[in-house]
Structures are given as C-alpha cells and as structure tokens.
Amino acid sequence: MPSTPASLGWLRAGLMLLFGGVALLGPLPGATVALAAPPPSPAGAGSAEVPAATAGVVPSPGSSRYYQVGPPQGGQRDYLYQIAVRTLGDGNRYREIFELNQGRLQADNRRLTDPLAALQPGWVLELPADARGPGVQVGPLPLPSATASAAAASSSRADDTNLTSYLVGIAGLMVAFLIAVVLWRVLRDPRSATPKPAASSADRRAPKVTTVLPEPPAVTTAAPVDTASEQPDTAPGAPTAPAAEIWKSGRAAIVLEPLAGNPADLLDVRLMGAAPGLAAEVPCGWLGDEHLADAMMPVVLGQVDGRQFVVDFAAAPDVFTVTGTPSAARRQARALAERLQVTLLAVTVVGDVLGVDLPRGWRRVDTFPTTQRDIAMLPQPSIIISPALSGTALTSARELAARTNHRVIPVLVGEMVRTRWSVRVTEPKP
C-alpha cells in the first residue's frame, strides 16, 4: 500500500527524534577525560621535579636499613633465607626480616605473607639494625605512594561516570528508534493491528500439536547394556600410583616411611624440576620401574605400603636438603649416604655434621670446597654432605652440580629453608 502524507509525516518525526538523540549524546567519554586532565605545573612554581627513579614513593620518617629485591639471577629468585645470609651472616635469622615486613603493602599491591615463598622483584624489605653487606641501603624506608593511588582511583571514577552517562544515552536512543519503527509500520498498514479470529488461529496451531507427538519407544528391541565393561579396573590391593601420576608438571610431592632410623619418622619429599639432558624423563618412581634403568645415581628415599620410592640423585637441579630438627635430619641424612655408598658412590662429609665417627671409606674435609682446585679433588660420582652454609660456600654449593656435570651433588643437613629438591623429617611427638 503506498505511503500516505500522514505516514510520511510520522516517519520524518521519528527520524528527527533519532538524529536529535545523537546530537544530545555529545562527545565520547575518552574526550571528556582528556579535557579534564590537569595542565602541567608552570616552571618556577616552587615544587621540585620528582626524579623518575623515585617517582611513586614517599619516604617514611626516620632512617632504616632496607634491601630491594632484584631480578632473578641465573633463574634463581631471592628468598628471605638468602637475604639473611648476605646481610646478617646467618640464614636462620630470616624470620626477623619476615616479622619486620609481614603484611606490608609493596609497590605491586602484594604483601609478604609466607616466609618461605620466593620474593617478587622490586619489593622493599626492612632489615634489622645490624644488617651489613652488599645490597643494604640506609635511609628513609620507601613506601608505596598514597598520592599516586588516589589519583588513579579518581581517574577511574571519572571514567566510570562518563561511561555510565554514555551508555544511558545509547539505551534511550535505541528505545526512540524502536518507537519510530513501530509507528512507521502501523501507519503503513493499519490492518496489521486488527486481531484475527480466534477460530482461525486455533486451526493454524492444531497441526503443530500433532506433529510433535513422540512415537512410542521400542523398549522390546533395545539391547541390554553391559555395565560390567564400564567398571574401572581397580582390583583390591592395587599398587601405589605410578610414577607418571606422581611426577606432574615437572614436580612431585610424596610422604614416605623411612627404611632406617626411627620407624616413626615421616619423610616429606618435595622434588621441583630436574637437571636437563637426563636419560630418564621422570627422575623418580618405584623400585623396578623400567624408566629408571638408566638412572645415573639411583637411591631409595623411603617406602609406602612396602614399595620403595627411588629417585635419580643426579637429576637434582642444584642442592639437596634434608631439613628438620638436627637429630632427625642427621639420622636420615646418614641413612641416605649409606644407601648411596652401596651403589659405589663416594661420600665426603664436611666437619662433624654426621657425628665424629664415620663409616669406613667415607672422606672428611674441614670446609666446603669453593676453589676450582678443591672441587677437582672431589671423587666422582659422589655426594658431599655439609651443614647449612652461607656466603661464598653457599654459592659454591649451588653451582657444584652444574660444574661437575651433575656427578657431584651437595646435600645440606639441618634447620634451613627447603630447596627445590628436599626431604623434611618429622619426628613423632612425645
């Protein structure tokens, strides 16, 4: 049906309403934010320019000793234990640093909550008053800038307000457009608004009801389901989980019973990562597993339900630690060395970490080797057992496995922070 002059008038009114809504919306919120940005301070206004290195921090009153965490060195991130070694000369004082910084907000909006977790680059840690050495800075303790945070929050609120206004305008425009379309359709064909008789509507719907009726299911022809074939193969007394399930994403964690010493001890084993280029892709498993046939330095760490858990000691990324109370750690470290000696590995002991009397064939040295000459004198393959280290000796221990092509593995014994490969010995409570 041709459009009448009245319908064209309604159409023109709808289009005018549409374009009027667009004009009322105004500019996008991004432009509003740009105009609202404060102008730069004029020169000579009396405020000193803030250097880029200290922007975003304000000093706290008083003078403190602090340490700023740097980027990882050789893939190794900083821990409180290592910082305590470098700045206080004693790694066991790491808890003092933790207590000074626990819960403090850092520049990345994170907080220190775990004394054993790796630290984030850029964190600022307050140190005890007697801290000395490389990395120790003296002066007002830098804190996250409250001004910068407030400015960011204010800008965010302004953006949210402008965006909300713009979205409300868009919604109003869409409603106006829909009203204009409805009016145009009604005026174009007035008969479309006339209701149809109820009988004809029912007649049209009747065939639809009959077509969606389902056919009776053929129950008598359905084949029976063999539920027995869907049951998992879990025979009673199934063996402990295979090594592939223990070693997931390059790490493993398992609690074992000891083979020697106090039978009530529990060995909490943690393996994170492995040395590259090993014959066995999975450096741990159960005694008799085929994938450990080519292990360079296999040793049994403990057992579960009578099955012995084996690791390839040569796969240790750097240092292996046996932690716990001194008596428990010494007991299990000695048992570990005795089992390694059975596989024809040489054992070197630093000082009296395992006691005064040593088994025949074990070698004792006074200090941990740090020079190339002393390291070259270590037998290979072998392990060297030492108490907790610090400074140059700790650095040498971390590098020893790589420098000897993983044929000499250092084992540190005592109360210390756990390394990537470690065993924590838990004694039974009296």
Written as one string, the DSSP assignment of 188-216 is H-GGGGSPPPHHHHHHHHHHHHHHTPPPP
Please state, as a whole number, how many other Cβ atoms lie within 10 Å of the Cβ of residue 181: 13
- Of 88-92, 262-266, 331-335, 381-385, minimum mean pLDDT range: 262-266
Q: In this predicted structure, what is the pLDDT of residue 89?
A: 86
Q: In this predicted structure, what is the pLDDT of residue 188?
A: 63
Question: Residues 37-42: what's their mean pLDDT?
Answer: 39
What tokens appear for 360 in the block?
A: 């025949």
Which pLDDT band holds residue 297 (cuts at 50, 70, 90)? confident
Q: In this predicted structure, what is the pLDDT of residue 38?
A: 41
Handedness of CA 186, 192, 198, 203 (dihedral sign): negative
Q: In this predicted structure, what is the pLDDT of residue 218?
A: 40
With 0.85 as the threshold, say if the pTM is over it: no
| Whether 100 contacts 111, CB under 8 Å | no
Please tell me the distance from the alpha carbon of residue 392 to that of residue 389, in angstroms, as a whole number.
Answer: 9
49 secondary structure, DSSP code: P
Strand, helix or coil for residue 332 = helix
334 vs 27, higher pLDDT? 334
Q: In this predicted structure, what is the pLDDT of residue 165?
A: 62
Q: Give pLDDT tens digits for 216-254.
A: 444 333 333 333 333 333 333 334 577 667 787 788 899
Residue 366 has pLDDT above 70, yes or no: yes
Question: Residues 40-66: what's their mean pLDDT?
Answer: 46
Strand (E) or helix (H) holding 409:
strand 408-413
Question: Residues 100-115: what's their mean pLDDT?
Answer: 91
Question: Residues 161-186: what's their mean pLDDT?
Answer: 69
Handedness of CA 9, 11, 12, 18 (dihedral sign): positive
The set of long-range contacts for 112-118, using a CB threshold of 8 Å and a minimum separation of 24, is 115/80, 116/79, 116/80, 116/417, 116/418, 117/79, 118/77, 118/78, 118/79
Please tell me the distance from the alpha carbon of residue 84 to that of residue 97, in angstroms, as a whole number.
Answer: 8
- Of 131-145, 380-394, 400-414, minimum mean pLDDT range: 131-145
Q: Minimal CA–CA distance to 428: which of 258, 253, 252, 301?
A: 258
Please tell me the distance from the alpha carbon of residue 114 to that of residue 96, in angstroms, as a whole number.
Answer: 13
Pairing of strands 142-144, 136-139: unpaired
Strand, helix or coil for residue 302 = strand
Which pLDDT band holds residue 350 (cuts at 50, 70, 90)? very high
Alpha helices in 222-311 (DSSP H): 243-246
Question: What does pLDDT average to over the chain?
Answer: 73
